[in-house]
Each structure stands twice: as C-alpha cells, then as structure tokens.
Amino acid sequence: MLTTVMTKTFRDRWKGEAIGVLTLVLLFLMGMSVYRDIDLAVYTDLPEVFRSLVNIPADADVGALAYGAIYTSYGALTLASLALSMGSASIAGEERDGTMGLLLGNPKSRTHILVSKAVNVVLLTGLGTLVLWAGGILVPQILNVDITGIFVGALVLHMFFIAVFHGFLALAISAWTGKARLATGATVAVMVLSFFAVGWLPLIEGLENGVKAFPWYYFSGSQPHVNGVSWGHLGVLLGGIVVFAVVALAGVNRRDLRDRTTGTGLVDRLRTHPLTKKAIDRLAGSARVSRIWTKTASEHQGLLIIVSYVMFLIMGVLLGPMYTFIDDTIASIGDAFPEGMMELFGGGDLTTPEGWYQIETFGLMAPIAFMLVTVTIGSRAMAGEEANRTMGLLLANPIKRSTVVLEKTFAMVIYALIVGFALFAGVALGSILGGLGMSPGRIAAATTLGMLLGLVFGALSLAISAATGRSRIAIFGTIGVALVFFVADGFLPLSDSLAGLAKWTPVYYYLGSDPLNNGMDWGHGAVLLGLFAILVAAATWLFDHRDLRQSA
C-alpha cells in the first residue's frame, strides 16, 4: 500500500516520463545517424540570423547540429510538456478525479500535498533529464561521432530548468483555479508563444530586445550546448519557479476545494438560455445520455476555446501583417536554403507567403493544435469514463458499446472541424490584412489535410484507450508515435537511400503534396481518412472485447 502522496504520484507518472525521454533518445540516435551522411555545408552556409534561430553555430559539426536541432527544439518542448502535464494535474486533477477528499482525509495538510506534487515535478523531470544526458553521451560513442567542445551537461541543465519552469506555472494555475484543462491550455499557450517569439522577434527591427520578456530566451538564448551554462539565465528561470511555487501555495490554501469537478457545461448553460433552450434540448436528447457526444463535447470546451483562439488570432491573423514587416529578411534567408533543407521545418519556400505560413503555422503548430483536442478526447473517451466510474451509468442505458465509441468519435470530429474553421478563417484573414493574395481554396486544402492528420492520431489514442482503459497510456503512447513520425518525415528525405520510407508515415500525406501551393490532393486525403476509419473500427472492436474497470 502506498504510504505517501509523493510515491503515489510518482507511480502514476513515471511511465509517461519514461516513454517521452526514451523516444527522444531514439530520435536523437536517428537524427545523428542521418547527419553523418549529408554535407553539413547546407547548414553552416545559412545566414547568421537563421543559424541562431535553430541553435546552429557557424562552425557546426555533426554533434553540434544534432544537439541544436533535436534536443533544443523537440527535446525541450517534450520535456516541458511532460512537466506541465504533471503540474496541471497536481491539485486540479485530484479534484477532477474525486480523490482530493481521500488525500485530505488522512493526516496530510494542503501544503503537504502541494509540496509532494511539486517535488514529483522536480524529481521526474530531473530523472528524465538524466536519461537525456546519458543518451546525449552514449549515442555519439555508439555512432563514433566526435562531440569535443559540446557541453551536453549544460544543455540538459537548461532543459531541466525550462521544463520545471513550465511545470510550476501549470502547478500555480492548477492550485489557484482548480481547473486542470485551464492550467494545461494556458501554460501550453505561454510555451508556444515564447518559443516562436524568441525565434522571430530578432528579425523585426526595433524589437530585438523583446525576446528577453519570454522565458524560452533564458533556455536557448545563450546556446548552452556550445557556450556552456549561463548561470544568469538559469537564475531568471529559478526566480520564476520560486514565484510560481509561492503563488501555488497561496492558491491551494485560500479556496474551497472540490471533491469532484462539478462545473456547469456549455450545453447546460445553453439549455438555461431562452433563445437556445429548445434547439439544444432537441440536439442533446433526453437525460438518459441518448446523445453521449454532447456530454463529451461539453467536458472539453475550455481546451477548444484556447486552441481555437491561438490558431485563429496568433497563428493565423497576426502572421499575415508580420510577413510584410520582415519579408526582406525572410527573402534573404530563403535564397540561402538548399533543396530539401526545409523538410526539417515543415517544408516551404520562405520567399513566399505560402511558405511563410507553412513553416510558421502548418508545419508544426497546426498538427499540434488538432492533436491537442483529438488526442485529449480520444484518450479519455473510454478510459476517462472508467476512471470516473461513469461507464457503468452509460452502459446501464439501452445502448451498445459501439455506440459509445462512435459518439465519442463524433465529438472528436466536431472539435476538429471547429479548430479547422478557426485556423482557416485566421489564415485567410491574415492574408487579406497583409495583402498576401493567398488562395482561400488552397488554405482550406491544407487545413483539411491537417485536420485529417489530427483525427488519425486522435483515433490512435481512441484505440489505445479502448484497448487498455488507461488514459495516460493512450496520451503518451500516441504522443510518442506522433513524435517519431514527425521527426522521421523531416529527416528521412535528407538521405537518398531512406527518402522513400517517408511515404510510410501518415505525416507525409499531410504536407507532402504542398497543398498551400498545389491545392487539395484527394489521394492523400483518402489515405488519411482511411487510416482514421481503420483505427476507429479497431477501437470499436477492442472496446467490445475487453472487460471494463470501474476504478482508476
């Protein structure tokens, strides 16, 4: 029997951390292997402004290139995401799952519980960092790559601090509000905005020093893998961690905690309004959950609002006018890119508005946005109901198990459509405001393929959830698979002998046809739609043939 809050939390979270960091080490192995077989001049001949953007020094060798392109981007983002997921679930997650009362029923104070959760964020992130450090040392030895002059320890130390920073930010929001999804969404928004601001603000004259207002600058701004530890930058991040810890402590002790999340959903609020009551009653059906999808959709409304807002305004509308301010700089960078280089960043020609949006929005951010909503719904579709002990109530009604799966899938599709509409509207409006002249039809094509890719990974998490009944396994398993596919799609084309393997990744069928310039490739769309249908069918079969649990 678990005797402390700390050991319980560690047991619940270590598997996700292990999956994440081991996947990163494998990607690092693959990336360094590919870099050995290409001419590094394609990187070292790039303009200084771009090399600094992706942490590539002028005299980069295979080692510096691999650390800069993989650990400081995919690695840091993944480690920070794992930490913020722990932070957001620290207090609000216990309230949501109805276990806070059990914890406080023991002779444990609120402060003790918070400190135990915070220690786990630090401990698990630290252990993950140690695995990345070991991988960063062992992989070059296995591949016989010289890493003389590379400060692996300094890099992973900076990764540790930026990850804990975001973990404690999520912890503070979770403790203050009791809303796990709000803590996750807000912290992800801060992380993503910071990541891109540090990359592009230096390109805008007069705003170069604005990067110092963003936490990501204090992680990568000093290029720790080539310059060593920047103690001043780490001090700034440590100061933020301390502030967030104090805010979390004040938050958890100042409000009434809930034994289980009981907030009013969107559907319930619409039912109370006289203008929408009749329509929503017909749409939602009776109180016997004859419309499971409306219940599912209402549970994730906060996440939908945050993701749609970011994709519409920040990654859509604002990027159009921004291109007009820095297009001369972008053009000079774009002329220097060798053929195939841009595959690492989503592909695209930086000298055109389409290439600008493909790299900034569609290459990475759009898939992440779609996956945030689809994977969240898919992973909690069945496993969440079992963990909350509500699956028995659903199946006590005259409905089939397959109906539960299909209605959960329908909610996932509705959310993906809403995010897709926000993305399309944002990019189209950004093109108009910036006078870029992009084709609305081609924007719609790229958005549709991105939505289908997001649904593929959402259906994968749905299938894992149906097979295991464990939402964390579904989330981290899907993220691990997606990360492998995205990196493989970026690296494989760099090697002539491996380029053909990229077609075996679903990511290839997203931007492989260059939809922003060529329009919709219906064959690629059919492949993604087929994968989605196969995975949903698999989820239905797996859920039908598994004994269900009524506990977490």
For residue 334, give both structure tokens: 């774009």
Let me know: does 30 contact 139? Beta carbons within 8 Å: no
**Amino acid 162: pLDDT:** 96
Dmax over CA atoms of the chain, in Å, equals: 71
Q: Which residue has the higher pLDDT, 403 or 388?
A: 403
**Amino acid 552: pLDDT:** 44
If you ran DSSP here, which 8-state letter would residue 8 be given?
H
* Amino acid (1-letter code) at residue 448: T
**Amino acid 279: pLDDT:** 57
SS3 426: helix
In whole angstroms, give the CA distance from residue 394 to residue 68.
49
Band of pLDDT at residue 39, cut at 50, 70 and 90: very low
Query: Does the structure show a pLDDT above 70 at 527?
Result: yes
SS3 391: helix
If you ran DSSP here, which 8-state letter would residue 358 be given?
I
Let me know: does 476 contact 20? Beta carbons within 8 Å: yes
Q: How many CB atoms lie within 10 A of CB 214?
A: 19
The 10s digit of each residue's pLDDT in 529-540 is: 999 999 999 999
H-run or E-run covering 320: helix 319-336
Let me know: does 511 contact 446? Beta carbons within 8 Å: yes
Query: Does the structure show a pLDDT above 80 at 115?
Result: yes
**Amino acid 11: pLDDT:** 78
Mean pLDDT along residues 448-458: 96
In whole angstroms, give the CA distance from residue 423 to residue 440.
12
The 10s digit of each residue's pLDDT in 171-182 is: 999 888 888 778
Query: Does the structure show a pLDDT above 50 at 338?
Result: no
Of 330-339, 342-351, 535-544, least confident by mean pLDDT is 330-339
Q: How many CB atoms lie within 10 A of CB 106?
A: 11
In whole angstroms, give the CA distance from residue 325 to residue 427.
17
Of 78-82, 443-447, 525-529, least confident by mean pLDDT is 78-82
Query: Does the structure show a pLDDT above 60 at 547?
Result: yes
SS3 551: coil
**Per-residue buried b or exposed e for 346-382, using 16+ beta carbons within 10 Å of the residue's own CB:** bbbbbbbbbbbbbbbbbbbbbbbbbbbbbbbbbbbbb
Let me know: does 409 contact 536? Beta carbons within 8 Å: yes
Closest CA to 346 of 496, 531, 514: 514
Catalogue the E-assigned strands of 441-500: none
Residue found under tokens 């698999």: 538
The 10s digit of each residue's pLDDT in 90-113 is: 876 666 666 665 566 566 678 888
In whole angstroms, give the CA distance from residue 64 to residue 393.
56
**Per-residue buried b or exposed e for 277-311, using 16+ beta carbons within 10 Å of the residue's own CB:** eeebeeebeeeebebbbbbbbbbbbbbbbbbbebb
Let me know: does 241 contact 252? Beta carbons within 8 Å: no
Query: Does the structure show a pLDDT above 60 at 40?
Result: no
**Amino acid 257: pLDDT:** 63
Let me know: does 478 contact 460? Beta carbons within 8 Å: yes
Of 195-199, 293-297, 445-449, least confident by mean pLDDT is 293-297
If you ran DSSP here, which 8-state letter would residue 90 be given?
S
In whole angstroms, give the CA distance from residue 61 to residue 542.
48
Q: How many residues does the chain have?
A: 552
In the chain, domain spans? 1-259, 300-552
The 10s digit of each residue's pLDDT in 140-185 is: 888 887 777 788 899 999 999 999 999 999 999 988 888 877 888 7
In whole angstroms, give the CA distance from residue 243 to residue 246.
5
Band of pLDDT at residue 445, cut at 50, 70 and 90: very high
In whole angstroms, give the CA distance from residue 245 to residue 241.
6
Of 116-120, 255-259, 315-319, least confident by mean pLDDT is 255-259
For residue 250, give both structure tokens: 């004040």
The 10s digit of each residue's pLDDT in 47-96 is: 444 444 455 555 555 556 677 767 887 788 889 988 998 888 887 666 66
Most confident stretch, 68-72, 268-272, 423-427: 423-427
